[in-house]
Structure 1
């Protein structure tokens, strides 16, 4: 990059478009274009993730509606079924994103949805422990590619500073699913006896069939990438390509390369992104999978427990969107992530401090609000961070998958912590969640420091180049790792 070259706010060299391209794209209004992208992209992927989270977490609602009794499943066997889901999820995360990179979103995302919809539906007719175990494992396999796939997908449409808010809105479907799950479970449970089936079976069957229907429609409403999107005009396609090229690598025609995969696994920042989610996945999934049980064990009926799960999730949904907007507005992630984790820690302190949950159920219920209010915004911020910072399409796809895969090992651990013998205080589970959230703060601060150090190193290189003193002391432009240009700046 020459000393005269212009750079944008991220430090990346601006590629000047041709004069004709400038004239042709000058009529495209940026704000209207973003609204158009949001309207055509976000509802589709949010609906898919809402269904994904419903189909993985509705087992918690089914449990208090008679699943364990009908299938003669003990408390520990139920925990094993949750673990099997995450084992399938973790094992197939990276392969699924590699398939996405080598195929297309329009094919791969609806196909994944169709597969898990079928598995979810079949869960409702399983007759024994082995069938239930198999259903949970293959549900994890089928759902494993959706979240990292969509994060990568959105990174191919939006500029870096625009991605976090969109990824966070996408993730907010998780807390929204918790709220809807409670409503659905409460209503569907009243179908007890229809067709000779218990209410918990209808929870799986109806939500699974809904997923199958939506997946088939998805082959039409999921777009591929900007260059071929049918809802865009030719001017809009050119404008999107130009704005992405100025901002990041999203407009590059990058072929798949195994060296980029290796680069993802050998970059220390990749592992810090993984740990940032790992330290949140345990509280996230223990909360979503056990909240109905935790509330029921406070002394509420099954029906009331389903309904009482709704308010904490509703609060989490609102705060996830608001904090994502605020964080994007000030262009900072780490301080908001740390603050949100602290809020969740307060929630678990309240849960642990209540020595008589059944005598004072309101105290523990308040604790669930703090936990939800902190966990979901934190996870949204952690999961959107690599989409802003990882250079290279293949590497970004792999890191997104690594983050979910390594991160969900925390969920594997968490599924074994809320054992029936620890009810109703669940000291073991709540203590682990609190400890993991504290570890998240440490990891976030470490990642913050590493990224800031990298930016300062690149600032020094840039200053030496502009000053004409050479670049031997800070590395040549071709010597930077994973093909990154030294003008690349990391978002903090």
Structure 2
């Protein structure tokens, strides 16, 4: 029986070769691959990107609320505020892997919107919190409810796109983090003018309105989040067959893999999965300290609260544009490590500028330029680091576990980071900036190590294939599939 994707050794302009496979394919029956990819992008990316934008907005708007009087009204010290930030990441880390296991056992259409409703409710409750204990409880459960979104979406996209197509989509999705920073600044500036409406302070309205917005969009999300290719109604039978065939030759996305704890254990035994986690760990501290403290850092340069809210917008806006540009460039050259090292170096320059300016209030322009370098360097690096497991880890359960592992290990850096920007270190914040700088240097070391290991294992596989040319293809048998990324024909993207 003819299929929509003809698996044969074809020659000519109709053929396209997958670099990670020894099989070539051509589209037949009028299915245009480029047009189909655009259709997938329009159907899948806006939906999950909106949810992630809301997620980052609801976790980081506490920074905007702080300079509008949150700590004063709840009678908390600066260090108690930092403890609340830490509790968020403790909840996040503890529930990361369980949430991805639930996603594997349910469906994206159910799980992702349900998570969003849950954190929307929690985020709204922040606006009616009356005391320090309430602040602590709400921050912890916000971390719990948000923990499953990012690793879940990374796994979800890996079930739709080929390996060499995922990095750009994940980076585009992650760019909503910096976009949320820009939106958060202007929303906080506008909502803060509602102070005293209904007897509520302006910072309370920031949480209430943004939380309610999340709930409304989450309810709608039950209709616009899709499941996997084999079950959606908006694909024709030809398109569905085409997608499944192109994925079958490329990775494990079409494999009917059952969840097993043995596959989870395989993940824990792979040193590369730990390095992916350390790669994000060394970026999460600068990422979250910047997003959680940027309004305060700018305010301590001598600006008013309103000015500080607005001045957070330009660094985030530029970072968003550069994240997308850097993802396109990285995708074009099919390189990850080198691009991460370059942008991490740019962020290092930013923190050097911040640290060497001894009088931020006298020379605010110098420190403000430093925040641009920091944002432009951090966000593109994080996007590329987070896309690595989706590209290189094979085996559905192993990849889902590796994605969750990466975020869990990574966010331990954020736990530490939330304790570094103490009020007594203002306005230079030498302690926090030094840690961020040191972590960025460690990131370059970790990424370089991972680059070396991936290149070494690729070389070993090439040598094996040269000595054993009879080695079967990646998807020839069930036994080949079970090898996952250990298969000799699986090529790691470094």
Give the shorter-chain TM-score range. Answer: over 0.9
Residues of 1 paired with 2:232 and 2:407: CA distance? 28
Give the equivalent residue in structure 2 for 1:36.
39
Give the equivalent residue in structure 2 for 1:441.
444
Aligned residues of 1:263 and 1:482 also touching (Cα < 8 A)? no
Aligned residues of 1:44 and 1:221 also touching (Cα < 8 A)? yes
Runs of 4+ in 1 over 4 A off after TM superposition: 4-9, 477-483
Residues of 1 paired with 2:458 and 2:480: CA distance? 17
Quote the offset at 1:251 in angstroms. Answer: 1.2
Name which of 352, 355, 362 aligns with 1:352.
355
Residues of 2 paired with 1:310 and 1:134: CA distance? 30
TM-score w.r.t. the length of structure 2 is 0.94
Quote the offset at 1:13 in angstroms. Answer: 4.3
Residues of 2 paired with 1:479 and 1:46: CA distance? 31
Tell me the SS of whatever aligns to 1:359.
coil
Is 1:487 the equivalent of 2:489? yes
Aligned length: 476
Quote the offset at 1:26 in angstroms. Answer: 3.5
Give the equivalent residue in structure 2 for 1:398.
401
1:12-411 maps to which residues of 2 (within 5 A)? 12-14=21-23, 25-411=28-414
Residues of 2 paired with 1:130 and 1:226: CA distance? 45
Residues of 2 paired with 1:232 and 1:320: CA distance? 30
Aligned residues of 1:5 and 1:13 also touching (Cα < 8 A)? no
TM-score w.r.t. the length of structure 1 is 0.94
Quote the offset at 1:479 in angstroms. Answer: 12
Residues of 1 paired with 2:482 and 2:244: CA distance? 25
Residues of 1 paired with 2:148 and 2:470: CA distance? 47
Unaligned runs of 5+ in 2: 1-7, 11-15, 473-478
Give the equivalent residue in structure 2 for 1:473.
none
Residues of 2 paired with 1:11 and 1:325: CA distance? 20
Quote the offset at 1:484 in angstroms. Answer: 3.2
Tell me the SS of whatever aligns to 2:36.
helix
Residues of 1 paired with 2:88 and 2:449: CA distance? 31
Unaligned runs of 5+ in 1: 17-21, 471-476
Bigger mean CA offset, 458-467 vs 112-121: 458-467
Aligned residues of 1:10 and 1:488 also touching (Cα < 8 A)? no
Residues of 1 paired with 2:484 and 2:34: CA distance? 33
Tell me the SS of whatever aligns to 1:73.
coil
Deviations 1:17-51 (A, max 9, x none): xxxxx78x441111110100000000000000000
Aligned residues of 2:20 and 2:250 also touching (Cα < 8 A)? no
Deviations 1:270-307 (A, max 9, x none): 00000000000000000000000000011100000000
Deviations 1:90-138 (A, max 9, x none): 0000000000001000000000000000000011001000011000000
Residues of 2 paired with 1:176 and 1:362: CA distance? 23
Residues of 1 paired with 2:179 and 2:223: CA distance? 24
Residues of 1 paired with 2:431 and 2:485: CA distance? 45
Quote the offset at 1:258 in angstroms. Answer: 1.1
Aligned residues of 1:296 and 1:305 also touching (Cα < 8 A)? yes
Aligned residues of 1:8 and 1:246 also touching (Cα < 8 A)? no
Tell me the SS of whatever aligns to 1:250.
coil
Quote the offset at 1:12 in angstroms. Answer: 2.6
Quote the offset at 1:231 in angstroms. Answer: 1.5
Name which of 449, 454, 458 aligns with 1:451.
454
Residues of 1 paired with 2:470 and 2:263: CA distance? 32
Aligned residues of 1:183 and 1:306 also touching (Cα < 8 A)? yes
Residues of 2 paired with 1:75 and 1:107: CA distance? 39
Deviations 1:467-492 (A, max 9, x none): 89x9xxxxxx8799667321100011
Tell me the SS of whatever aligns to 2:50.
helix
Deviations 1:357-386 (A, max 9, x none): 111010000000000000000000000011
Quote the offset at 1:230 in angstroms. Answer: 1.6
Residues of 1 paired with 2:344 and 2:374: CA distance? 9
Aligned residues of 2:113 and 2:221 also touching (Cα < 8 A)? yes
